[in-house]
Amino acid sequence: MSHAPVLLAEAMDALALKAGGVYVDATFGGGGYSREMLARADCNVIAFDRDPDAIPRGAEMTAQAKGKFTLHQGRFGDLSPDEAVDGVVFDLGVSSFQLDEGARGFSFQADADLDMRMEREGNSAADAVNGLSEVALADLIYNYGEDDESRRIARTIVQARAAGPITRTLQLADIVERAVGGRKGARTHPATKTFQALRMLVNDELGELARGLSAAEGALKPGGRLAVVSFHSLEDRMVKRFIAERADAQGRGSRHTPDLPPERAPSFALERKRATAPSDEEVARNPRARSASLRWAVRTDAPAWDELEPPALATRAEAEWKKLS
């Protein structure tokens, strides 16, 4: 069991690693990015993962790197602006370890408790499935799963749970499949988007991404590089907007005062506007790379902007979720 790092060479090139540099691997996972950074340059790497299970995987690297590598259990949003680093890389989503260990409940490939908590704390996916109203479930599956069948799925979940709580991954996958039919010829299982939506809610993934991007902006030195690999359009849109707004030299005071000079100097410079997608060869080798996209930018010497607000999506589901917690 291992995790094949996605867009590895492309992300490393984006970081433009240099000897003596200090780099943050915001999402350690199986350590593929950290290992490559340490191999490519005589640099220091500070890594984070919010999942306690990821931490022992860094023990060997810590021993071999002789003080040049540290791994912290924690959220990347907690990265301190006092760090002053030369690069921050995010490889979002879940690792193959999390997916393959059925007991974590991230995958419908194995029967397990409907858990999905990266930190193993707080309310689980089962709490959401059994505790949210039908309207909130539909809101969640539509906005975070981007699934047009959200209402039908929510209705079927609510009907099913009237007979008893939904506690298992395969139970939920069957319910979703029953709601929408088999979707013949589809490349993905019909429950994929519902599982994604639940995972995002349970782990506050968009809120974390907003905090993480702002934390990186605060910690990067002038000339330092931000690189983000995302796996679905909601994340990618957030990253794209974050970078584009902060790199906009034409930025206006506001749309109501278009003639005013920019209020804030650009905190990033954009050298490549378009996202980088994996090669066909990588996708053939690693199907998980299929939806990946990399964006990167270079920090300027302007002060960091105000903290990014996550998009107000699935507001009904988020409000009910907060009450459950």
Residues found near ligand SAM in the complex (CB under 6 A): 3, 5, 27, 29-33, 48-51, 54, 75-77, 91, 93-95, 118, 208, 212
Please identify, using beta-carbon distances, which residue of 118 and 228 lies nearer to ligand SAM.
118
Q: Do residues 7 and 294 lie in contact, with contact meaning Cβ atoms separated by under 8 Å?
A: yes
Report the chain's C-alpha Rg in angstroms. Answer: 20
| DSSP sequence for 62-103 | HHHTTTSEEEEES-GGG--GGG-EEEEEEE-S--HHHHHSGG
CB of 80 to ligand SAM, least distance (A): 14
Q: Do residues 82 and 61 lie in contact, with contact meaning Cβ atoms separated by under 8 Å?
A: no
Q: Do residues 51 and 202 lie in contact, with contact meaning Cβ atoms separated by under 8 Å?
A: no
Which ranges in the chain belong to alpha helices (H)? Answer: 8-15, 32-40, 59-64, 96-100, 125-131, 134-143, 150-161, 169-180, 192-202, 205-219, 233-246, 280-285, 315-324
CB of 116 to ligand SAM, least distance (A): 11
CB of 181 to ligand SAM, least distance (A): 31
Measured distance CA(221)–CA(303) in Å, rounded: 10
Q: Identify residue 206 by its one-letter amino acid code.
A: L
CB of 4 to ligand SAM, least distance (A): 8
Q: Do residues 27 and 48 lie in contact, with contact meaning Cβ atoms separated by under 8 Å?
A: yes
CB of 109 to ligand SAM, least distance (A): 17
CB of 148 to ligand SAM, least distance (A): 27
